[in-house]
Amino acid sequence: MSNIFKHSLVERDLGRILRYAPVADAARFLHPVQQALIHRRGWLRMLAPKSAGGAELPLPAVVRLEEEIAGVDGSMGWVVTLCAGAGWFAGFLPPALARDIVGGKRVCVAGSGAPTGFADVDGDGFRISGRWDFASGAPMATHFTLNAVLREDGVPLLDDAGAQRIRAFLVPAQDVELLSTWRSIGMRATASHAYRIDNRWVHADHGFVIDPAHATAAGPLYRFPFLSLAFVTLAANVAGMAAHFVRLATEAIAGRRHPLAAMALAESPEVARRLADATESMAAARSRFYRLLDRAWQQVVDGVTLPEQDCAELHAASLSLVEAGRSAVDELYPCCGLRAAHEDSEINRVWRDLHTASQHALLLP
């Protein structure tokens, strides 16, 4: 197991990610060189507890790294984000089990949040069956997480309010059948396939509750609200992709002539305005986003339970960041020429990735 946790990109890493991004897109999964880099840098352990062999990095540092990776390759950034996020669940598992998993060779936890399966009580464990969609990084996963409806004798168990009880579980990859279902136009190298489990038994200690009151690791990471963590990590990915597109669009526009006027396209007042507006709106949204994230993190570090109003502001800032990126890309795309519509071009790949990633249900306006 590597003990080198890198939470910023060095030039050599950036070059490797960029070099293999088009190859991974065509192959519909991350290139082995990209996978090796992810494991060598320890990025999938960066949210796991130190007590289990993780890095337990401060959340703002993780979010900035995820944005940086997505700013080079959206698919790789997304896999790192989703799989590192699933590794965060180790802070809610029994410590011995967390150590076994996080300490495993080339550990990678993938999963899905929808409760589209069942966990039937069976002795001191559960028998799990169901199908779950959109497990980013599935081909390299050593473990999968899932949510399942609890049942006993085939009857769903209910909570005090009469709703079905749902519990999160972690299962080894050998208990999972992958289904090749990911056919999106973008984020192709995430290989976000579905998976199925058919009547597999797991011990009860493989079930966990994602709530600070049930955390088994003591650090502030595990007191940070899960929904807020999901918002900020996903939004940062879209921001990285949008910034990547704007850089490429600026280069594309600089090389074009206005079709009607005798001037460079970049000299057109309308095009110049679009470029300036895109840059300024994204910078403003990003500044507010990180200001609120840094403030929320410091509150949690100081032992404060994050107020609902602060969570709501952080979620709104996340959506504003996504919208600023999406709007900037849509404003600039028509100025980029047919090269931007060519499937094999870098700018087209970034365009496809952003418009796929921003369809995540949590990021819809």
Give one word for 53, left, alpha or beta, with left for phi > 0 and alpha for psi -120 to 50. left
Contact 231, 301 (CB under 8 A): no
Identify the pLDDT of residue 223: 98
Q: Are 238 and 148 members of one domain?
A: no
Does 107 map to a domain?
no
Q: Measure the CA angle with vertex 123, ends 200 and 158; round to 5°.
A: 85
pLDDT in tens, 102-153: 998 899 999 999 999 999 999 999 999 999 999 999 999 999 999 999 999 9
Are 82 and 176 in the same domain? Answer: no
**pLDDT at residue 258, as a whole number:** 87
Tell me, yes or no, whether 300 lies in a domain. Answer: yes
**DSSP assignments along 253-295, one per residue:** HHT-B-SSSSSBGGGSHHHHHHHHHHHHHHHHHHHHHHHHHHH
24 and 93 share a domain? Answer: yes
Percent of the chain with pLDDT over 90: 94
- Domain encompassing residue 172: 114-214
Span 233-272, pLDDT tens digits: 999 999 999 999 999 999 999 999 888 888 899 999 999 9
Do 352 and 228 fall into the same domain?
yes
Domain finish residue from 80, 102, 124: 102
- Examine the pLDDT at 2 and tell me if it is beyond 90: no
CA distance 335 to 201: 56
For residue 4, name the pLDDT band (cuts at 50, 70, 90).
very low
- Residue 363 token pair: 């990021």
Predicted local distance difference test score (pLDDT) of residue 80 = 98
Residue 15 lies inside a defined structural domain of this protein: yes
Question: Looking at 79, 102, 125, which one is the last position of a domain?
Answer: 102
The pLDDT value given to residue 34: 98
Number of domains in the chain: 3
Q: Check pLDDT > 80 for residue 161.
A: yes
| CB contact at 8 A, 237 and 81 | yes
- pLDDT at residue number 6: 54
Does 152 fall in a domain? Answer: yes
Q: Are residues 319 and 280 in the same domain?
A: yes
Per-residue pLDDT, averaged over 268-281, amounts to: 96
pLDDT of residue 3: 43
Predicted pLDDT at 81: 98
Residues 355 and 236 in one domain: yes
75, 142: one domain: no
My answer on whether 129 and 257 are in the same domain is no
Of 69, 102, 135, the position where a domain reaches its end is 102
Closest CA to 33 of 47, 12, 50: 12
d(CA 114, CA 279): 36
Q: Is the same domain home to 230 and 326?
A: yes
Give the pLDDT confidence of 68-106 residue by residue, as tens digits: 999 999 999 999 999 999 999 999 999 999 999 999 889
pLDDT of residue 101: 96
Q: What average pLDDT does the chain have?
A: 96
354 found inside a domain: yes
Token duo for residue 31 = 């290139």
Check pLDDT > 60 for residue 39: yes
Q: Using one digit for the tens of pLDDT, what is the confidence trace for 307-332? A: 999 999 999 999 999 999 999 999 99
CATH number where 86 lies = 1.10.540.10
What is the predicted pLDDT for the residue at 267?
92
Q: What is the CATH number of the domain that holds 258?
A: 1.20.140.10
